[in-house]
Structure 1
Amino acid sequence: MAGTYTPVTLPFTVSGEKEDLLTLLADQRQMFTVTLRGITEEQARQRTTVSTLTLGGLVKHLAMGEQSTLEELVERDDTAEFDMQKAAHAYELTDDETFAGWVEEYHRAAAALDDYVAQSAGLDELIPQMTAPWQPEREWWTIRKMLLHKLRETAHHCGHADIIREALDGQNTMAALYDGTDPSEWAIG
């Protein structure tokens, strides 16, 4: 699909709207991981703005979001509630966690979500959403809406990550995309 910033090849065959959504989501994920390229464990935990956000915290949050979306799709639990305790440290790496571990989980969870969506019957399937303090009434979203939400969330945090990274060492994600490095060498950590 033309229009992506990164070279995206889906590991399965889909077409139409499903292909478009999964391709754009994969592109945004890749943009995020380009921002993480070359980051050390120490840098992943470093605050570079007045915010408490760090690159490690962002990758953990996005990985947890991928896990949660897949869980909602698979379980389809119309009694599910958002676990506020589980989310208490969603934006920070705890002492027993590693940046590399969450980067690996981010890739694993994203691949599992994409594979599930690729195999799903269609984007119009209605999925019950967890209730939460910000969404107290049960809502039913289509898989399409869930993917669009995931795309928005990923793009939103790509911007955060880019600002944090630029303040950390001056790297700009768009410049990093075009620095001549082969995308297969976009190793993280």
Structure 2
Amino acid sequence: MTVSETTTHDAAEAPALTGERSDLLEMLAKHRHFLRFTTRDLTDEQAGLRATVSELCLGGLIKHVTSAERGWANFIVDGPAAMPDFTAMTAADWEQRADDMRMLPGETLAGVLDDYAEAARRTDELIATLPDLNATQPLPKAPWFEGAAHWSARRVLMHIMTETAQHAGHADIIRESIDGAKSMG
């Protein structure tokens, strides 16, 4: 059974969140917190600052994680149709995706954080109400995925968690480079 066949479940009928789902979402919430925490007390300008030799900035990292989480949540429901065919992307497509990694003119840190909160809320709701975390979808075409591999909703959620944790670490380094503030320690 695919995920799209199982997502008609009524949220009002969902049992209280316990066990594995609760554990997974609590861990994801912890990593989201650390990522968001790196932006505390910053201005919009500071959120867009490239403070290391990397192209990364705090606002851009949060935009990227938001986009990735939203894309993978859509993948859980709609499968590879929710993702681009990475093997057919042009240079212009890649440049447009790069905009997810930077603060653009007119964007605010508050707006970026609000967008992230909305994506997180949707993912949490999906995971809480999804009838089966074992439901799978074939991966989209990309040079970094093996041929005909399928991922379960559980594996996608673990991927979202890993991506969030990795970028929270990047964000901590960037924040410390801006003003010496640390997320931990």
Give yes or no for the alignment of 1:151 onto 2:172: no
Alignment correspondent of 1:27: 30
Give identity over the alignment, percent.
38
- Distance in 1, matches of 2:104 and 2:73, equals 24
Aligned to 2:104: 94
**How far has the Cα of 1:79 moved from its partner?**
8.5
Q: 1:127 aligns with which of 119, 128, 137?
A: 137
Residues 137 and 150, structure 2, Cα contact 8 Å, conserved in 1? yes
| 1:129 alignment partner AA | L
Supply the RMSD in Å over aligned alpha carbons. 2.0
Distance 1:82 1:31 in 2: 31
AA of the residue aligned to 1:20: D
Q: CA 1:36–1:136 in 2, change beyond 3 Å: closer, same or farther?
A: same
Question: Counterpart of 1:179?
Answer: none
Q: Within 2, Cα distance between the matches of 1:164 and 1:82?
A: 31
Quote how far apart the aligned CAs of 1:77 are. Answer: 4.0
TM-score, normalised by the number of residues in structure 2: 0.81
Contact 1:77-1:128 within 8 A present in 2 as well: yes
For residue 68 of structure 1, what is the aligned residue in structure 2?
71
Opposite residue 173 of structure 1, the aligned amino acid is S
Please list every run of 5 or more consecutive structure 1 residues that lacks an aligned counterpart in the other structure.
1-11, 176-189
- Within 5 Å, which residues of 2 pair with 1:171-186? 171-175=181-185
Is contact 2:138–2:149 with CA below 8 Å preserved after alignment? Answer: yes
Equivalences, count: 164
The structure with the greater share of residues assigned to helix is: 2
TM-score (norm 1): 0.79
8 Å CA contact 2:76–2:156 kept in 1: the answer is: no
State which of 54, 57, 64 in structure 2 corresponds to 1:54.
Answer: 57
Report the alpha carbon displacement of residue 80 of structure 1 after superposing the two structures with TM. Answer: 4.8
Aligned to 1:3: none
Aligned CA distance change for structure 1 residues 157 and 80 (closer, same or farther; 3 Å)? closer
Aligned AA (2:116): Y
